Structures are given as C-alpha cells and as structure tokens.
Amino acid sequence: MPSLFDGASARIEAALEHIDISEDIAQGLAQPDAALKVSVGLRRDDGSFGLFPGYRVRYDSTLGPAKGGIRFHPDVNVDETTTLAFWMTMKCAVMGLPFGGAKGGISVEPKDLSPAEMERLSRAYIDQVADFIGPDTDIPAPDVNTNPRVMGWMADQYRIISRAHRPDVITGKPIEMGGSPGRTTATGDGAFHVLATMMERWEREAAGTTVAVQGFGNAGVRFARLAADAGYTVVAVSDSGGGIYNEDGLDLNAVEKAKAEQGSVTAAEGQQISNDDLLTLDVDILAPAALESVITGDNAGQVRAGVIVEIANGPVASEADQILADNNVIVLPDILANAGGGTVSYFEWVQNRQAWYWDADTVAQRLEARMVEATKRVANRADELGIGHRTAAYVIALEKLDQAARARGTSAFFQGRGNSTG
C-alpha cells in the first residue's frame, strides 16, 4: 500500500505534465531538507514517567523560513509529519507567502492528559526541538489538538531557553502573548472565502445549497457557521463520536451546545449517522474538516456531493482523485482551501517582528483579499489549462518555487543551458 507521502508526491507528477521546472527544484522536492525525531519525556501527575515519540520536519526553505503546525495525536508518525510538511510547502507557495513548509507533532492521546501534563509535555517538546526551530528558520503553529494556550506554553519555554523575548518564533499564540486577532477562526474563514469566491464564479446562490461538514472542531464549526449565516443549509455534521443529519437543516446553536455539554454532536437532535455515511450523503457541498485520507479509492465512487471543500489536510487520498474527476466532482484543494490558518500565521509573524499590531477588522480584510486573489488565480489556471483545481494549485506552487530557484541560478544556468536566471 502506498504511503501517505507517495500519494502526495503523485500530485506533483500530475502537475509536471503541464509545466517544466528546473531539475534543482524537482530533486529538492523529492525529500525534506531536514527531519528530527526526539523522545519527549513526561512526568505524570501520579509520579510515573513516560516517553512519547516527537517529530519536526522542515521540508523546503526555497521561499523563506519553514512554517507549519504542531499536532498531538496517537497517529503522528514520520510519514505523516513529512507529508504534512510537504503540503505546507505547496500551501505557502500557492498563497504567495514568504515561507517554506514544516510540520511537527507528538504521538500521544491528549484526551489522556491532565491540563498540567499537557503543559509539561508542551514545554518538554520545545526543550527537544529548540535548536531546530527559530523565527528565521522554522516557525511552529497550532494544529490538531493544539491551541493558543499550548502555543503560549511553547513560546514561553523558548523564551526561557533562549533568554530572549521572541514572540515571532511561534504563531497562534494567545492575544496577550503577541497573538493575532482572527488566528483561531482563520482556517474556517479561509475555506469559506474560497467557496464563496467559486460560487460567485459559478453564478450559484447559497440559498437552497446543502452542506455537510465532517469534523466539528474549530475549523469545521467556523465554516458551518459562516455557511449557515450566508444562507446555505447545513444538513449534517460529525465528530469523532459520529454524526447527525437533518435534511431541513440543523440548529447549529443546539449542536454546539450538545457538543460542549456532552462531548459529541450526536447528543443533539437529528438522525444518527456515521462519519462514513456523512461522506456519501446527497448534498451539494461536502467539507471534510478532520484528518487526512477519509475519501479513498474505496468510497470515492459513492461520493454524491458536487463540490468538496478540503478544510482538513489531505482528506482526499491521491487514488481517489481520478474517480472524483470522472464523476464530475469538483475538489477545492487543501493547499488552497486550508490556507487561511497559515496566512494569518504569516500576519502574526509580521506583527511580532514589527511590534505593530492590527485590529481584527484589518486581519479579516487582509485574509479575505488574499484568499479571494489566490482562488481566482487557481480557477483561472484550471480553466486555461483545462485541468482540475488541485492540479492547477500545484502548477502555481511549483512555478513559484521554480522562479525562486532560477533567480539563484540553477543547474541549467551553470551548465550554460539556461538564460540569465535559468
């Protein structure tokens, strides 16, 4: 069975059918720049001691310092972390951010940790990777099961180690520690801006358009809220405990209340469905907002949604791409639709470095402008080349990386086979 990274690499191959890039970039993207594996020690509240595998991967720094989140999840491993760092490289390039891609995480079940254990583990991770990260080399951010509080602990631990106040080393921090307004909601906001831009391009109305969201976490909740407020009918949502469905639309206030009080959306009123059921509902818009590879070669043929908005990283496995295309399912890819968080992380980094902070409206306006601009670029390239939006996004990303490589001088230039920048 192909690895997650093998699947991600296949998308580069699809893009290369439409463009030529320098040999240097092609070789460089075949493997990460650097990868670190550590053992993260944790003293438990009962006095026992445990070790957890931790990872940090810098995939590519052609466009600038590496940027990417840190996740706490039992399934974190080197293949996943490497793939996520690769996707982040593509994401930053598509969005025109001055960053490369990185990712990190710890293989741990955070639900088993007390708040005090969570803090100690977060600080211990930074103890292990402090020499690997930095505001000019590798800038972490929150991801699955991490949040502003966790980022605050990590930033504080870096301050202790470095004996310097460097808020620009980690983004997604609490506002009080130099975080940016709008960072918590940025991923959901960005995904909605992508959808709204495409709906306008397709001359389709929100009214009467049905939406299903798999993954009712931070990004999924925000996207569902924005969709409902805009007139879409959110008919189904799910979390790790299962899902609920109502063809007439869900009461999102009641769903959020049920999840907050009883731990799962399944406690709210609605028809009980599984996560797998949600993926194959007869809806207009499907938004997978949980983990990678939930739509595979096994179930892609059963997807009935006309549009998939990839809010999660890699929710559609590579072997499902052609099946969806053959069934005329439009995929708004993760390296575009999921880029809101990374974009506002960039804003936070800029604000930290300047010690000049923006208000929430400014952040929101700048995020929307960047998401709309990037979406139009991808859509225009897809139409120009007659290809899907995912391949078009990869084409744009690869061209951006190639331009930066050529500006430095590539093998073709030094061998006398290129122009002044080739």
CATH of the domain at 109: 3.40.50.10860
Q: Is residue 371 part of a domain?
A: no
Indicate whether 143 pLDDT > 70. yes
Sign of the Cα pseudo-torsion (117, 123, 127, 133, in order): positive
Q: What residue type is assigned to position 410 of the chain?
A: T
Q: What is the mean pLDDT of residues 44-48?
A: 98
- pTM, to two decimals: 0.94
Q: What residue type is assigned to position 314 of the chain?
A: G
pLDDT tens, position by position, 12-36 = 999 999 998 888 888 888 899 999 9
47 shares its domain with 158: yes
Q: How confident is the model at residue 179 (pLDDT cuts 50, 70, 90)?
A: very high
Residue 61: in which H helix or E strand, if any?
none
159 shares its domain with 248: no
Q: Is residue 421 part of a domain?
A: no
275 shares its domain with 327: yes
Cα separation, 247 vs 240, in Å, equals 21
Q: What residues does 188 pair with on adjacent strands?
A: none
Q: What is the mean pLDDT of residues 48-63?
A: 97
Q: Is residue 386 part of a domain?
A: no
Q: How confident is the model at residue 1 (pLDDT cuts 50, 70, 90)?
A: low
What is the DSSP secondary structure assignment for residue 316, as one 8-state letter? B
Q: Is residue 278 part of a domain?
A: yes
153 shares its domain with 196: no
Q: Is residue 376 part of a domain?
A: no
Residues of the chain with pLDDT > 90, as a percent, come to 89
126 shares its domain with 237: no
Instruction: Return the closest-CA partner of residue 190 out of 94, 122, 267.
Output: 94
Are the CB atoms for 165 and 314 separated by under 8 Å? no
| Residue ending a domain, choose from 173, 199, 226 | 173
- Of 96 and 419, more confident: 96
Listed range (185-189, 191-195, 405-409) with the worst mean pLDDT: 405-409
How high is the pLDDT of residue 418?
A: 59
38 shares its domain with 158: yes
Residue with tokens 């001359």: 203
CATH code at position 308: 3.40.50.720
Q: How confident is the model at residue 2 (pLDDT cuts 50, 70, 90)?
A: low
Instruction: Return the closest-CA partner of residue 215 out of 314, 302, 69.
Output: 314
Range of the domain at 52: 32-173
pLDDT tens, position by position, 109-139 = 999 999 999 999 999 999 999 999 999 999 9
Q: Mean pLDDT across the chain, nearest whole number?
A: 95
Instruction: Return the closest-CA partner of residue 216 out of 273, 173, 174.
Output: 273
Q: What is the mean pLDDT of residues 285-312?
A: 96
How high is the pLDDT of residue 156?
A: 98
Count up the domains in the chain and report the number: 2
Tokens of 189: 């906001």
Let me know how long the chain is: 422
* Given the residues 67, 103, 173, 400, the one annotated as active site: 103
| Residue ending a domain, choose from 337, 353, 388 | 337
Q: How confident is the model at residue 415 (pLDDT cuts 50, 70, 90)?
A: confident
239 shares its domain with 320: yes
44 shares its domain with 139: yes
Q: Is residue 5 part of a domain?
A: no
How high is the pLDDT of residue 408?
A: 83
196 shares its domain with 331: yes
pLDDT tens, position by position, 238-270 = 999 999 999 999 999 999 999 999 999 999 999
Tokens of 280: 């194959």
What is the DSSP secondary structure assignment for residue 71, as one 8-state letter? E
Residue 297: in which H helix or E strand, if any?
none
96 shares its domain with 200: no
Angle, CA of 18, 385 and 299, to the nearest 5°: 85
Q: Is residue 13 part of a domain?
A: no
How high is the pLDDT of residue 420?
A: 47
How high is the pLDDT of residue 84?
A: 95
Instruction: Return the closest-CA partner of residue 42 out of 127, 103, 104.
Output: 127
Q: Is residue 344 part of a domain?
A: no
120 shares its domain with 256: no
246 shares its domain with 120: no
- Answer yes or no: 103 catalytic: yes
Sign of the Cα pseudo-torsion (351, 354, 355, 357, in order): negative
Are the CB atoms for 285 and 210 separated by under 8 Å? yes
Indicate whether 422 pLDDT > 50. no
pLDDT tens, position by position, 370-406 = 999 999 999 999 999 999 999 999 999 999 999 998 8
